[in-house]
Amino acid sequence: MDVSESQSITTGIASRYATALFDLAMDDGGLEKLESDAADLSAALNDSEDLDRLITSPIYSRSESEAAIGAVAKAMGLSDLTANTLRLMAQKRRLFVVPAMLRALREKIAAHKGEVTADVVSAKALTKAQSEKLSETLKAAVGRDVILNATVDERLIGGLVVKVGSKMIDTSIRAKLDALKNTMKEVG
């Protein structure tokens, strides 16, 4: 099995859980709470190595995983819908797809709200004014409200890498230096 095959399987599983969660939240009128749950859970996964270990480690039994993720959901104040889904995923040994499920869920919610998410990587943290200006510029280009998912990578030296959907714009100094390096190799 090659890597792309396992990635495709993970994406498929995550998409099914995200669709089910989204549809159930729509039926119950709990989309706003689901969006909050997804943001809180994403932040917790980014901040906690223990939580990351819980969802990725195969050493925990199904019942241990279910009890632990249930306790985490309760401590975080997640909705019953989200908590029950996480417990079900633990029973089925599918917790490893939670990050992909959260991404798919955020995409579904954004599409429902007429928004699009742009992944922005910069050499240093963007100021509020820079973020607002970039968001306005992207909105003009794509015709929808844009939510920025900003991260910092100092290796870029300067500039930005912006990804909206399948389009990517790389204005980083690192990319320009790499292009120049390749050009110099071709000449010599």
Note the pLDDT of residue 4.
56
Q: Per-residue confidence at 179, pLDDT binned at 50, 70, 90?
A: confident
Q: Cα–Cα distance between 152 and 138 in angstroms, integer?
A: 19
Q: Per-residue confidence at 8, pLDDT binned at 50, 70, 90?
A: confident
pLDDT digits (tens, 9 = 90+) for 87-101: 999 999 999 999 999
Q: Cα–Cα distance between 124 and 163 in angstroms, integer?
A: 17
Question: Which pair of tokens denotes residue 84?
Answer: 């029950």
Are the beta carbons of 60 and 96 closer than 8 angstroms?
no
- Mean predicted confidence (pLDDT) in 127-137: 93
State the DSSP H helix or E strand holding residue 60, giving kind and residue range, or none if neither.
none
Are the beta carbons of 163 and 170 closer than 8 angstroms?
no
State the DSSP H helix or E strand holding residue 94, giving kind and residue range, or none if neither.
none
Q: Per-residue confidence at 167, pLDDT binned at 50, 70, 90?
A: confident
Question: Which pair of tokens denotes residue 56?
Answer: 């990725």
Note the pLDDT of residue 188.
63
Burial class (CB in 10 A: 0-12, 13-18, 19+), 49: exposed
Identify the bridge partners of residue 115 per DSSP, sorted by sequence position: 145
Burial class (CB in 10 A: 0-12, 13-18, 19+), 74: exposed
3-state secondary structure of 82: helix
Q: Kindly list the domain boundaries of the chain, sorted by start residue.
A: 3-110, 115-187
The dihedrals phi and psi of 130, each to the nearest 5 degrees, come to -65, -40
Asked whether the predicted pLDDT for residue 83 surpasses 90, the reply is yes
Considering the domain 3-110 in this protein, what is its CATH number? 1.10.520.20
Cα–Cα separations (whole angstroms), residue 136 to 58, 93, 117, 181: 44, 42, 13, 34
